């Protein structure tokens, strides 16, 4: 597997970030994590994926603020800080079971 990294602007809402990540996952990759970074005078989310050689598409991704109740029928696989709507947010990532 190959590791892919790209930046997602912190201007996007958490829902928009989830859609961007889900689109990348539809291209045979799986979201691993995100770290805050600085790029071209902007704070961004540096998002990391593992790319598959086959047509694997992971189960549905759910990103929620940590203060939100965990989604039902889902497993948490990552927790960290992201920039969403220009604010730092503690985020939990879940996969549908």
Q: DSSP per residue over the chain, as a string?
A: -EEEEEEEETTS-HHHHHHHHHHHHTTTEEEEEEEEEEETTEEEEEEEEEE-SS---PSPEEEEETTSPPPTTEEEEEEEEEEETTEEEEEEEEEE-
**Could you list the pLDDT tens digit for every one of the 97 residues in the chain?**
799 999 999 999 999 999 999 999 998 899 999 999 998 889 999 999 999 888 778 899 999 999 888 899 999 999 999 999 999 999 999 999 9
- Say what the pTM is: 0.91
The boundaries of the domain holding residue 71 are 2-96
Which pLDDT score is estimated for 52? 86
Total of domains in the chain: 1
């Amino acid at each position: 597997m190959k590791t892919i990294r790209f930046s997602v602007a912190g201007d996007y809402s958490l829902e928009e970030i989830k859609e961007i990540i889900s689109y990348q996952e539809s291209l045979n990759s799986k979201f691993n994590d995100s770290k805050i970074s600085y790029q071209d005078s902007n704070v961004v989310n540096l998002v990391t994926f593992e790319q598959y050689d086959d047509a694997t598409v992971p189960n549905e991704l759910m990103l929620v603020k940590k203060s939100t109740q965990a989604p039902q029928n889902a497993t948490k696989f990552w927790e960290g800080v992201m920039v969403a709507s220009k604010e730092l947010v503690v985020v939990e990532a879940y996969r549908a079971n």
